[in-house]
């Protein structure tokens, strides 16, 4: 009987494990063709000045329209792309597409502030990363100050000398730098003050439940005060309610992004949003 049970259990679990490994493998091989087959696309989420409600930026967020599985979120495929090195061509495609779009909207007289692009660890650590940024600016003709690069704490708090070099080079190019998901990683304040940064993005887990969540209230307040003391702009991610917005305003937070204002929008919807709500 025990043997029977054991075998049944084996049969139950093993195929599932194989499925997961297989799943990843097939996703990875599908991902190889995703760019050339035009399956990747960007959505854009507006970032608003909390005082004026003007759009001060857009964040580009990548999506994968898989031919048989439908829409796949970046949380599912970016880690795979990171592991197998595909993040380099994919990251370049994202940069190129976002800059091209922003330059086009500028030519249409649409005010959107900067275009924020998420940069993954592997991408940032490439020796020629700054050259790639320079290339994409030259190719697309985008004004450098309209490109904002989002990196996480984990990416810039490792290998400080090289990182500082890179960040300074990027600053010389004229692009701006934001720390994404701030507060979820480990930041050395000593390095933070040396880095040529422009913006701290408070992670959405700390925006949640303001002002009633006392822990989050303390953290949001501390990040805003510290950011301002260091001369940085502070943006809160994931604002979903008026209460969260009101409290962040009261704390002096500069900008916000979240479902309260707009979900990530398709190119067409974003253009419509910009035309209707904000014009030069």
List interacting residues with ligand C2E (CB under 6 A): 45, 60-62, 73-75, 78, 94, 118, 120, 150, 180-181, 204, 237-240, 257-259, 264
Which of ligand C2E, Mg ion, none does residue 94 bind to, with CB < 5 to 8 Å depending on kind? ligand C2E
- Does the bond joining 267 to the residue before it have cis omega, within 30 degrees of 0? no
Binding-site residue total for Mg ion (CB under 5 A)?
5
* Residue 9 CB partners (closer than 8 Å, separation 6+): none
Length of the chain, in residues:
280
CA-nearest of 123, 112, 135, 130 to 59 is 112
Q: Is 148 in the site for Mg ion (CB under 5 A)?
A: no
Q: Other C-beta atoms within 10 Å of 242: how many?
A: 9
CB 211, min distance to ligand C2E, A: 17
- Three-state SS at 70: strand
- Minimal distance in Å, beta carbon 26 to Mg ion? 26
Binding segment (CB under 5 A) for Mg ion, from list 6-14, 112-120, 125-133, 256-264: 112-120
Nearest distance, CB of residue 280 and Mg ion, angstroms: 26
Smaller CB separation from ligand C2E, 4 or 36:
36
**Cα distances (Å, whole numbers) of residue 156 to 150, 161, 195:** 11, 10, 9
Phi and psi for 45 in degrees, rounded to 5? -110, 125
Query: Reduced to 3 states, what is the DSSP secondary structure of residue 207?
Result: helix
Which one, 180 or 244, has the nearer CB to Mg ion? 180
Nearer to ligand C2E by C-beta: 81 or 163?
81
Phi then psi for residue 145, to 5 deg, are -70, -10
Q: Which of 30, 148, 150, 271 binds Mg ion (CB under 5 A)?
A: 150
**Sole binder of Mg ion in the list 30, 148, 153, 180 (CB under 5 A):** 180
Residue whose CB is less far from ligand C2E, 17 or 81: 81
Q: What is the dihedral of CA 208, 209, 213, 218, to 10 degrees?
A: 50
Q: Give me the least distance between CB of 230 and ligand C2E, in Å please.
A: 21
User: How far is 188 from 166, CA to CA, in rounded Å?
Assistant: 18
- Residue the block writes with tokens 């100050």: 145
* CB closer to ligand C2E, 53 vs 172: 53
| Residue 120 vs 216, nearer CB to ligand C2E | 120
Q: Give the residue from 20, 10, 47, 30 showing the smallest Cα distance to 201.
A: 47
Work out how close the CB of 39 gets to ligand C2E at its nearest, in angstroms, rounded to a whole number: 14
Determine the 3-state secondary structure of 180 from DSSP: strand
Q: Identify residues 193-252 at the interface with Mg ion (CB under 5 A).
A: 237
Q: Which stretch binds Mg ion (CB under 5 A): 9-17, 76-84, 114-122, 185-193?
A: 114-122
Q: What tokens does 38 get?
A: 């035009």
**Interface with Mg ion (CB under 5 A):** 118, 150, 180-181, 237
């Amino acid at each position: 009987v025990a043997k029977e049970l054991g075998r049944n259990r084996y049969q139950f679990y093993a195929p599932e494990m194989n499925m997961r490994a297989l799943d990843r493998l097939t996703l990875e091989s599908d991902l190889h063709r995703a760019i050339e087959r035009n399956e990747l696309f960007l959505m854009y989420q507006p970032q608003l000045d909390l005082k004026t409600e003007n759009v001060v930026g857009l964040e580009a967020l990548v999506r994968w329209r898989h031919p048989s599985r439908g829409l796949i979120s970046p949380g599912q495929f970016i880690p795979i792309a990171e592991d197998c090195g595909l993040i380099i061509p994919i990251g370049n495609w994202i940069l190129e597409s976002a800059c091209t779009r922003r330059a086009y909207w500028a030519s249409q007289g649409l005010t959107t502030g900067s275009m924020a692009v998420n940069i993954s660890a592997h991408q940032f650590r490439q020796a020629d990363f700054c050259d790639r940024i320079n290339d994409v600016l030259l190719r697309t003709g985008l004004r450098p100050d309209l490109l904002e690069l989002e990196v996480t704490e984990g990416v810039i708090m490792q290998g400080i000398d090289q990182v500082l070099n890179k960040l300074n080079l990027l600053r010389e190019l004229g692009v701006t730098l934001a720390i994404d998901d701030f507060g979820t990683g480990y930041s050395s304040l000593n390095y933070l003050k040396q880095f040529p940064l422009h913006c701290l993005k408070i992670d959405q887990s700390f925006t949640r439940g303001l002002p009633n969540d006392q822990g989050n209230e303390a953290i949001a307040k501390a990040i805003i005060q510290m950011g301002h003391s260091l001369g940085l702009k502070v943006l809160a991610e994931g604002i979903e309610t008026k209460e969260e917005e009101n409290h962040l305003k009261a704390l002096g937070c500069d900008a916000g992004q979240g479902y309260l204002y707009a979900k990530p929008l398709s190119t067409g919807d974003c253009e419509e949003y910009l035309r209707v709500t904000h014009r030069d």
